[in-house]
Structure 1
Amino acid sequence: MRQACGITGWQGAGYRGRNLSSAGGSASVRRMVTTPTRLALAALALLLTATPSLAQGQRPAASRQPPPAAAPAPPAQQANNEEYTRCMRQARTQGTEAFEAATAWEGRGGGLQARHCAAVALLTLGQPAEAAIRLERLGTTGQGDAIRVRVELLSQAAQAWLAARMPERAHAVLTQAVKIAPDDADLWIDRGVVLGSARNYWEAIDDLNRAIELAPRRADPLVLRATAYRWVGSLELAEEDLARALTLDPRSVDALLERGIIRRLRNDATQARADWIQVLRLAPDGPAGDAARANLEKLDVKVEPGTGQQPARR
């Protein structure tokens, strides 16, 4: 699709989903970009951590809020939790060994935790489609009252489908998840991310509208919607969303990065440069810093890697 205002090549934050490994579906850490290899790596990185709901052996109600403190787990459950943590840790770097260990553990009664670890090990082994199939099956056939577990597994399945470059499957899985937990803002953000990655920007905006209704004090869906508005050429609406996002979070590097792009599209190179340099000051080594550095280089400003400083002139 043609970039808004006819200027191509400016790198934005793109779309971000949440870190499903954090309790309660906490803030976004995954950065989705249009490069499939980086997208696959990002999705893989998120899944290589034990899912808290499984580690705690919980069967929570519909609320995605952290549950109240529970009584200590019985010894057998505690042993399973420790096995799960070990298996997931091994899955980060030793996919074959972790898969074999998880399979053996399942044979000893490891249940859902063992099957989840096996699926994650397949991601490490470069088999995201098979991992997605398993994760989707776990999320679809889970206990009816284990809402958080099912939602987390379906969301992880969607990430694995994205890593396998099958966004239509990711969208279908997230649609299932939204039906289970329709008031979960993160699910609407995730589905908006998938739609945006497929360049279905107006549909992405619809999902992000719902996310913003559910979570009006969060900056991240506003930044995502601003990006979508930019792609459909609605720069004024994008600017309004970015102003709101930066009011909520003045240090949001994604909002600053996106605002720099909008300003460049408005032919305000000076203010665009200021935003991107601020991104480098706040987060020089992350994905936002990489994008800001690339954009600055397009403005003929050479920035030293890992810093927000221009090199000394010789």
Structure 2
Amino acid sequence: MNGRVLVFGLVALLALAVGFDAWWQLNIGAPVPSALSGLPPTVQGSTGLPVQPRIAQGAEYERCLAMVPGDPAGAYALADAWEATGGGDGATHCNAAAQLALGNTEAGAELLEKLAKGSKAAPLARAFVFGQATQAWLMAGDAARAYGAATMALALAPDDIDLLIDRSIAAATMARYLDAIDDLNLALDRDPRRTDALVFRAAAWRHEGQLALANDDVTRAVAIDPDFPEAMLERGILRQRRGNLDGARTDWQRAIELAPDTATADLAQQNISLLEVGPRLR
């Protein structure tokens, strides 16, 4: 499996940046396509994210998935009818995609987890669907179920970096920051240049009060990719914590420049606004 980086990874960063208990409030009303970040390319639209291996094949499967972005209700009806006539894994997967597109994240997560458990597909394909279930459970606000799904995925694909990152997100959402760091350590052992994992680990260290370790990680991330907007967001938070308000403002302004009209930019702007209000409150 390949890195999702800034699609599902942004979920993690927002959670880390604003506090895991608050991220779900920020995500209320988020665009539906974000719910489809882990699904096949016909569902994802223009993201271009690779998603092999597939849980199913065939023209009907592709047709059903292709309907999801523009007509999720139609895709759901097609998948439901197809399941009733023996559509198998493909019908169930399309049903789950349609449920997510319709905003029924818990129902979609349940379907994905059930599919991954019961499918006779290859282990890597099942691991991928467990990974999708992990993301869907997080979007549904159930970090414990997300953690369980990620653990089942890793039992099938123990070296998958994305799954380790996903499980770290679930752990941190439950304020289990040290468990999150353990998974991120494993991910970075496998690929030391994963800037998303470095930024997530920096934020987890920050939540543990280990600002020096957090700063080391975000410095490494910026050295690898100086235009990584989430690294700018996190470095700004760390600079603000150390009293470097001008540096924090500069980083947040840079995050906005790099990723305008995104949730990252919104958070950076909120932080800048708080900096401006702060002195007047003291």
TM-score bracket, shorter-length normalisation: 0.7 to 0.9
1:11 aligned residue: none
How many residues were matched structurally? 257
1:24 aligned residue: 2
Give, in angstroms, the shift of residue 104 of structure 1. 1.8
Larger CA Rg, structure 1 vs 2: 1
The 8 Å contact of residues 97 and 108 in structure 2, kept in 1 or not, is answered as: yes
Distance 2:165 2:210 in 1: 20
The 8 Å contact of residues 223 and 255 in structure 1, kept in 2 or not, is answered as: yes
The 8 Å contact of residues 239 and 247 in structure 2, kept in 1 or not, is answered as: yes
2:252 aligned residue: 276
2:75 aligned residue: 98
One-letter amino acid of the structure 1 residue matched with residue 106 of structure 2: A
- What residue ranges of structure 1 are gaps of 5+ in the alignment? 1-22, 55-63, 68-76, 302-314
1:253 aligned residue: 229
Residues 169 and 237 (structure 1), Cα distance of their counterparts in 2 relative to 1, 3 Å cut: same
**Which residue of the other structure, out of 92, 96, 110, is the alignment partner of 1:133?**
110
Aligned positions of 1:115-134 closer than 5 A: 115-134=92-111
More helix, by proportion: 2
One-letter amino acid of the structure 2 residue matched with residue 140 of structure 1: K
Structure with greater contact order relative to length (CA < 8 Å, sep ≥ 6): 1
**Which residue of the other structure, out of 23, 41, 50, is the alignment partner of 1:35?**
23
Distance 1:184 1:298 in 2: 39
**Which residue of the other structure, out of 206, 210, 222, is the alignment partner of 2:198?**
222
Give, in angstroms, the shift of residue 151 of structure 1. 1.5
Q: Secondary structure at the match of 1:300?
A: helix
One-letter amino acid of the structure 2 residue matched with residue 160 of structure 1: A
Q: For each residue in 1:107-161, what CA deviation from the matched residue of structure 2 results, as whole angstroms up to 9, or x when unmatched?
A: 44432111111112222333322221211111112226x1332112111111221
The 8 Å contact of residues 43 and 163 in structure 1, kept in 2 or not, is answered as: no
Correspondence 1:205 to 2:194 = no
- What residue ranges of structure 2 are gaps of 5+ in the alignment? 16-21, 44-49, 278-282
With normalisation by structure 1, the TM-score equals: 0.74
The 8 Å contact of residues 167 and 198 in structure 1, kept in 2 or not, is answered as: yes
Q: Secondary structure at the match of 1:152?
A: helix
1:236 aligned residue: 212
The 8 Å contact of residues 204 and 228 in structure 1, kept in 2 or not, is answered as: yes
The 8 Å contact of residues 53 and 148 in structure 1, kept in 2 or not, is answered as: no
1:142 aligned residue: 119
Correspondence 1:114 to 2:69 = no
The 8 Å contact of residues 263 and 272 in structure 1, kept in 2 or not, is answered as: yes
Identity %, equivalent residues = 39
Greater alpha carbon shift after TM alignment, 192-201 vs 155-164? 155-164
Distance 1:286 1:126 in 2: 20
With normalisation by structure 2, the TM-score equals: 0.82
The 8 Å contact of residues 64 and 75 in structure 2, kept in 1 or not, is answered as: yes
